[in-house]
Amino acid sequence: MTLLDGLWAASALTALVAAAFGRHPAAGSWLTVLYGLQFLVVAMMGGLSEGADPVPASVSFVVLGYGLAWQFSALSWFFAVITAGAALAAAWFVSGAWGRAYAARGGDLRLLQLALALNPLAMYVLLASTDFLSLFVGWELVSWSSFLLMLSGGGVGVRWALRYLVYAIGGAMAVMAAMAQAHALTGSFGFGALAAAVPELSAASLWMLVILLAAGFGVKMGLLPFHLWQAGAYAETPGPGAAFLGAISSRMGLYAMLLTLFGGLGLGTLQALHIPFTPLEAHELLAWIAAFTMVLPTFTALRQNDARWLLAWHGIGQGGYMLLGVAMGDALASAGGMMHVFNHATYQAALFMAVTAVVYRTGTADLNRLGGLVTRMPLTFLVLLIGIIGLAGLPPMNGFVSKWLIYRALIDEGQPLLFVAAVIGTLGTIVSVYKLLHNIFLGRLRVEHESVREVPWSMLTPMLALAAVVFVTGLAPGPVLDWVAAVQRELGFAVLVPTLGGVDRPDGGLDMLWVVGIMLAGFGVGALIFLAGGRARTVHQLDNYAGGHFLSAEVRYHYSDNFYAGLMHRIGSWYRGSFQWLQDALVSATDFLAQGAAGVYRAVQPVTWLLGVTVLALWWAW
Amino acid sequence: MSLPPLEIVLYAGAVSLLIIGLAGLVMSEHLVRLVLALGVAEAGGNLLLVLTGFRQGAVAPILLGAAPSGPMVDPIPQALVLTAIVIGVGVQALALALVLRVRRAYGTVHMSALRARLVEDLDEAAGLPPEGSREAPGVERPV
Amino acid sequence: MPELILELVLMPLVAFVAGLGMLLMMRKIAAKIQRRVGPPFLQPLYDVVKFFGKQTQISHGLIHDVGIIVAVGGYIAAETLIPVPGMDGIAGRTDVIVLIYFLMVPSLGMALAAGQCANPNASIGISRALTAMLAYDIPFVIVIFGMSWIYGTTNLVQMVEYQQVHGWGLFQAPLLAFAGLFALQGMLGKQPFEIYVAPAEIATGPMVEMGGKYLGSLVVMQSFSLYTAGILYTTLFLGGGVTWIDFLLKAYLVVAIPMAIAFQFPRYRAEQMLGVLWKWPVLAGLLGLALVMLT
Amino acid sequence: MTADAVTLAVALPLLAGFLSPALGRSSRTAAQWLGWAALAASAAVLWSVWVRLDGGTAAVAVGGFRPPLGIAFYLDGMALLFALAVPVVTLLFWPRAGTPQQFALTLVLAAAATGLALSGDIFNLYVFYELTAVASFGLVAAHEARRAQAAALRYLLLSAAGSVLLLAGIAVVYLRTGTLNLAHLATLAPERLQDPVGLAAFALMLLGLGVKAELFPVNGWVPEVYSSVSGRLAGLLAGLVSKLAVLVVVRALVLVFPRPEAAELMLVLGTLGIVVGELAAWRARDLRRQFAFSSIGQLGIVFVAFSVPGPAGIVAGLAVALHHLLTKPALFLLAERWGGAIEGLRGAGRGQWLASTLFILFALSLVGVPPLPGFWAKLLTVMSLMEQGTGPARAGAVVVMAATVVEAAYLFRTLGVLLARESGAESPQPHRGPDLATASLAGLILVGSVFALRPLGDGLKALAAQAVDVDGYVRTVLGGPGMAVSHPASQAPGGAGGGARVAHVPPEIAS
């Protein structure tokens, strides 16, 4: 029995326990232990990131003459460690008070636990793919298990889950087409055979493969224009589920792209594939799609009034950074893109959990119905603060490191427009996440939230742990970059050699140890200066300047709605909802065609069709 | 394929009967006419089948003692067409029986009226409101 | 190592003193334009001391305090990221990208502090400040990209060295220098882009609930920000400095330009500010970039 | 038991069918048991023949006339598989609440369907086809609601028109070749039928058979009939009868009309059928019609898959057809109690967990979720189409995949309604035990086949290799080892004295 078998067994056991005892209050802790076990098994495979041989699974099948086998490599391991960590954190979050409250509110806790357990299992299967067939099998399993997780909450979530399903099946069909095409071209499902056949393939075949694979996996990643399902589907999933999905689920698309497009076809192929009548190559096309994915969803997030939706939209936008980095393909950029997967998982899970904690205490995620909670939930505030600094990509958190790598690479590569797009995405994120933080935690505390308390430790522990990871990997990104370097080596990218603090290069490197150190020292000096002043007296929030008015609890003295009025005055009219329009148009077109199709069966005398088609067929026969 | 003029006439007649019958099935409104049109079409089909064995100037392939001199027509199609005619008659009888029962149940012998009533019945059986101008699927669109 | 620590202590100190000087210069220029005498030489220092020494110090909670500390401390730390004559600090270990994101941390601190005040006027001020950031940073990053491309490095120390060999960036990319100056106007929050500070109306803006050492810290922060903007522009376009004299001269000159422009203008609304800053400096920047990259 | 015993598989149900009304006069239970016994015996005969043949092929010359003169049964894996499916599926979908007359019709349907699977003579195929048709008209019309009679009449008119076309097609074939034996035709076809006239004959036969096989656009009866009759009968017609018609088309395509144009015609009509069927299902407002339209779409996929030349197409087509044979009838059984408006089913699935689970399982398999069999069937179809690489084939593959998206959308939309938290105005009655049992059996087979994918795949490949082996067919039927002559004594139905409508059949078999 190999470690991969052990991982699958542990994960399957978790799912079984969840299915059998998920409803039981004590099951949460046991499940958390089992998730911990999964994490441990993944950790035991850590040698993969140091160049150890791949870990195969001892099961394999032959179906219809096609072999199905699985193994873990450095790439798999990198994604698996994130998956295991996110699953552990999410399960820990559910295990205590949150799960009980969820069940008490009428939620189906067993279904949630089961769905939560099936997702990592499906992902471990997907991550162990060795060829197109096993990839597709795993891909479908992942799609359907996340569908189950989205459904588990019921209510509005079901509608979004169904929308997701349509997109997911569409994506899967594109993948299936690519897979059948690859098989037709090479006679095998293997990536190696495809890579070997690339020189003989025509540009048209290559383009077809690239487009089908990018579109198919892009659906899962929420790449433009296939992104419309993601925000709603993730946001309406029950909190910890959303944390897990938001952290890692859509990154499976990136994994599959890395495996097929960059590992299979090869980066060199993408760089040599020229788009007619333009100066662009295929990898730049991907980079531009990524750039639009960074910018547009981020600014959609800016307009959200629901904290969960805001985060989910940012999740789509951050996916763009990952693809941008990988598509640019040099050592820095690809390292940045892949490291961003890790970083995003850590802070996004923490953020979703913090928001869920707020919902747990206040019952709403509506950004216009909250405010001032920092005095009541200071630790949750801390987690959210660290999370948004990570999300916005500011020092000293880990999000900054991955984004810095991408910016630096874009300057190296001489891509000013992509660079500006990346920065615009970041600026939009900063603007948007401040609104998130402000509307929940700052400003005026509402009367009905006077009695709100900090959430229990069963919820705080995973949140704080994730926040600590966000900070520590920001302070010392070296280890994560080492994992990434192993992936780069496996996929044939140029390899980035990291230092503990980041990247050492004379023409502008990054040493986060110094950056963070100097920042903390600065804060210390700032604190000394601050304390040198007179002793301050803390006043009640109603003791405030109000232009001569006397404030009372009844007076709503808080600014939240239309937070960026001036900005929206300028760019508000740029929100056209074009993609929504496109989607609606597609649905309407389908509906229109369906009316026509149903009309075939409204004929008074169906023999008409018989006669008609006979005449046509005879005419055609001649 | 060059056929003698007589055979051309005969084949044309068979095919015409078939087409007339099918056209009648498309264009008729009265249920009995539809059944009759079916009969015409079947007659055309049968004629076509029996013609496949036809040879001009040939005699019936009845062997009594010595074989007749000269060509004989192919006996197989004749056997086949006998079967086909029987089947056709059976089906037409069934059709007429159904017409009677339909008339008793719906009080109409007109196809368009019958079709409309049938759709109403189907919708009613499914518990659906009649499909009118409301051109929308029964449930919310999935996307 | 002790040398480095000395640098790390000296760089913020110099910045503080020079920044206070810039504050004084700003008020003098304003006075000259408005035909007033203006404050005495040590007035900025007096102000800071007075604010810190006030007896009534009103805090609106822990984050109010922490935010102010982050705002001041962030700038203190940032000063060590830009090379000055004779001192590189940790500029060699980081680069200009780190610097521009580092500079957002103090702003975030101020935003936190203002948000905690539970006064919608402060929140409105922050919303406008962040909008302004979105406005001026887009042309600014175009400039950063262009200069990094020209110098072939993002390391500020190497940028200075390059200019000392090949001539100032100002002459190599005048359009980018213009765009940078334009963005600087917004970055400093000076008229016509001063809606978020709105010093004329005390009731609107991040400062509405600030008093005593809180306001004093913000004054310190402003002096740092003037100095940082000045030396950053100097480093990017004016070849840095060989000696402190020409370095500070250039920095003061750079800061004086926006000041001189500022006090002759009324104020743009937030959306107008976006329109202006997204149009002219971005156009100039992109044009400059095209010239630089295509030739 | 020798191979020629297979005539019993046709004869026994037919005999029982004629006895059933008479017996039913005194005891309905006895008639029912007689029917069951006949079907079981038929299945046993077919099974023993299959076991005995052990992957080989055989021909049975009924009545002692050597082919090509007499009429022949041809036994290979594909024929026996479908023939065996007939009594088994008929037993499962037996009209339990029916009258002895219905039993009789069901038995006749089974006998004719078995004959359809086995027959190696195209006129004989026509006869069995007509017999199947008449039996199904009767079964549809036997449903008590008046809508069933109207639907049956409309079905009859369309089907009879199709039969006329089939007959015309057969006439053309006979005109060009002078033979009706499929093996003989296979030898003559390359020189006599490879022209527009031959193609026209195939088109006529395809459209004629297409009425039963739910081929677009001659399937106007499908939604009307399936939503008028009981779920059991709908399952039988959609699951079994349609497949046998497809089987006949495939035989004709492989043996007599191996021309790319013929396959292309099938491909085009199949593709259109997928589009129209799935889209109409998307708009359907009640579950029965949704399944009926979905069945049209699925049959479209079957046609598209079979249109690929060579064993790859046969394997894919068989996989899709068998998968549909397993799932769609079971779904019709579930629609028995959930047949009303979809919107009215809100929350109906909660509390009926077995039925809901089965629905989910079948839906997942229909959509093609690995590792369920539906996925492999779909994968084989898409791959064989892509492998073929022609424009229409690629378009067919794209349509198959696009239809999957539509299918997933409506199936899971329905599922979402069924499992909604809030419940509808009135909750439907719970499912009947036998319905659920049959559906569960289908579900078990479906899940079980996941664990037997390898043997199943190998088996299908062997079947397909046999099915495309035209030389083998000709050798088996026209001469060489494996040919057998059946005993005239076994032709019992002649003396059974059944109804007048079917009285002509026994002499035909015995001739």
CB nearest to D164's CB, from B45, B106, B125? B45
CB nearest to A510's CB, from C54, C94, C108? C94
Residues of A in contact with D412 (CB under 8 A): 162, 165
Chains touching B, CB cut-off 8 Å, 3+ pairs:
A, D
CA separation, residue A299 to residues A371, A375, C250 (Å): 22, 30, 39
**Cross-chain Cβ contact A594/D282 below 8 Å:** yes
User: How many residue pairs bridge chain B and chain D with CB atoms within 8 Å of each other?
Assistant: 165
Residues of C in contact with A514 (CB under 8 A): 90, 93-94
**Cross-chain Cβ contact D227/B122 below 8 Å:** yes
Where is average pLDDT lowest: A72-81, B91-100, D289-298, D485-494?
D485-494
Q: What is the pLDDT of residues C147-161, one digit of tens each?
A: 999 998 999 999 999
Look up the pTM and report it. 0.90
For residue D390, give every residue at least 6 positions away whose Cβ sits within 8 Å of its Cβ, in sequence order, or none. Answer: none
A441: distance to nearest CA of chain D, Å?
34
Where is average pLDDT lowest: A57-66, B132-141, D7-16, D118-127?
B132-141
Mean pLDDT of D408-421: 86
Partner B, chain A 144-183, Cβ-Cβ below 8 Å: 159, 162-163, 165-167
Domain definitions of chain B by residue range: 5-56+74-125
**Cross-chain Cβ contact D416/A601 below 8 Å:** no
Q: Which of C216, C237, C164 is nearest to C51 (CA)?
A: C216
A180: distance to nearest CA of chain D, Å?
5
Q: Which helix (H) or strand (E) holds D266?
A: helix D260-283
Positions in chain C whose pLDDT score sits under 70: 199-203
D42 lies in which domain range? 1-121+133-140+482-505
Cα(A164)–Cα(A173) distance, integer angstroms: 14
**Per-residue pLDDT for A309 more than 60?**
yes
Looking at every residue in chain A, the average pLDDT score rounds to 91
Q: What is the pLDDT of residues A177-186, one digit of tens each?
A: 999 999 988 8
Decide if D360 is inside a domain. no
**Per-residue pLDDT for D67 more than 80?**
no
pLDDT band (50, 70, 90) for residue D489: very low
Residue of A nearest to D453 (CA): A63
Residues of A in contact with C68 (CB under 8 A): 526, 530
What count of residues does chain A have?
622
Tokens of A55: 């870990």
D449: distance to nearest CA of chain A, Å?
12
* DSSP class per residue in A108-126: -HHHHHHHHHHHHHHHHHH
Using a threshold of 3 CB pairs under 8 A, tell whether chains D and B touch: yes
Query: C187 with C255: CB under 8 angstroms?
Result: no
Higher per-residue pLDDT: A446 or A547:
A446
The pLDDT of residue D498 is 32
CB nearest to B98's CB, from D123, D152, D171? D152
Residues of D in contact with B142 (CB under 8 A): 409-410, 412-413
Residues of A in contact with D223 (CB under 8 A): 601
The pLDDT of residue B52 is 83
Chains touching D, CB cut-off 8 Å, 3+ pairs:
A, B
**Cross-chain Cβ contact C274/A438 below 8 Å:** no
In chain B, the N- to C-terminal Cα span, in Å, equals 58
**Cross-chain Cβ contact B22/A610 below 8 Å:** yes
pLDDT band (50, 70, 90) for residue D302: very high
For residue D316, give every residue at least 6 positions away whose Cβ sits within 8 Å of its Cβ, in sequence order, or none. Answer: D305, D306, D308, D377, D380, D381, D383, D384
In chain A, the N- to C-terminal Cα span, in Å, equals 65
Residue of D nearest to A212 (CA): D398
Residue of A nearest to B29 (CA): A605
Cα(A48)–Cα(D297) distance, integer angstroms: 47
**Cross-chain Cβ contact D504/B87 below 8 Å:** yes
Q: What is the pLDDT of residues A415-433, one digit of tens each?
A: 999 999 999 999 999 999 9
**B5-56+74-125 CATH fold:** Helix Hairpins (1.10.287)
Give the residue from A219, A605, A611, A618 with the most B CB atoms within 10 Å of its CB, the best one to mutate. Answer: A605
CB nearest to A621's CB, from D196, D412, D454? D196
CB nearest to A607's CB, from B26, B115, B137? B26
Using a threshold of 3 CB pairs under 8 A, tell whether chains D and C touch: no
Mean pLDDT of D176-190: 84
Q: Which of A351, A275, A265 is nearest to A310 (CA)?
A: A351
A406: distance to nearest CA of chain C, Å?
11
Residue of A nearest to B30 (CA): A605
Residues in a beta bridge with D75: D58
Chains touching C, CB cut-off 8 Å, 3+ pairs:
A
DSSP state of A511: E
* DSSP class per residue in A149-180: HHHTT-THHHHHHHHHHHHHHHHHHHHHHHHH
B21: distance to nearest CA of chain A, Å?
11
User: How many residue pairs bridge chain A and chain B with CB atoms within 8 Å of each other?
Assistant: 33
A305: distance to nearest CA of chain C, Å?
15
Higher per-residue pLDDT: D148 or B65:
D148
Residue of D nearest to B141 (CA): D413
Helix (H, G, I), strand (E, B) or coil at D483: strand
ipTM of the complex: 0.87
Residue of B nearest to A596 (CA): B135
pLDDT band (50, 70, 90) for residue B36: very high
The pLDDT of residue D490 is 35
The pLDDT of residue D508 is 35
Residues of B in contact with D165 (CB under 8 A): 45
Decide if D37 is inside a domain. yes
Instruction: Kindly report the three-state secondary structure assignment for every residue of A55-67.
Output: EEEEEEEEECCEE
Q: What angle do CA D286, D289, D294 make, to 5 degrees?
A: 120
**Per-residue pLDDT for B131 more than 80?**
no
Beta-carbon neighbour count of residue A534 at 10 Å? 15
DSSP state of B30: B
Looking at every residue in chain D, the average pLDDT score rounds to 83
The pLDDT of residue A553 is 80
**Cross-chain Cβ contact B141/A591 below 8 Å:** yes
Cα(A158)–Cα(D349) distance, integer angstroms: 15
Decide if D13 is inside a domain. yes
Q: At what angle do helices B5-27 and A607-621 cross, to 10 degrees?
A: 140
Mean pLDDT of A305-325: 94
A314: distance to nearest CA of chain D, Å?
27
Query: D493 with D18: CB under 8 angstroms?
Result: yes
Residue of B nearest to D223 (CA): B122
Query: A575 with A295: CB under 8 angstroms?
Result: no
Mean pLDDT of D222-236: 87
Using the Cβ of A607 and the Cβ atoms of chain B, whether some distance falls under 8 Å is answered with yes
**Cross-chain Cβ contact D227/B138 below 8 Å:** no
CB nearest to C145's CB, from A411, A430, A557? A411
Q: Provide the percentage of residues in chain A whose pLDDT is more than 90.
A: 63
Sign of the alpha-carbon dihedral angle for A189, A190, A195, A199? negative
Residue of D nearest to A616 (CA): D203
Q: Provide the percentage of residues in chain C whose pLDDT is more than 90.
A: 61
The pLDDT of residue A609 is 87
Q: What is the pLDDT of residues D441-474, one digit of tens each?
A: 889 998 998 888 888 888 888 888 888 888 888 8
Beta-carbon neighbour count of residue C126 at 10 Å? 27
Tokens of D204: 């006529």
Q: In total, how many domains does chain D have?
A: 1
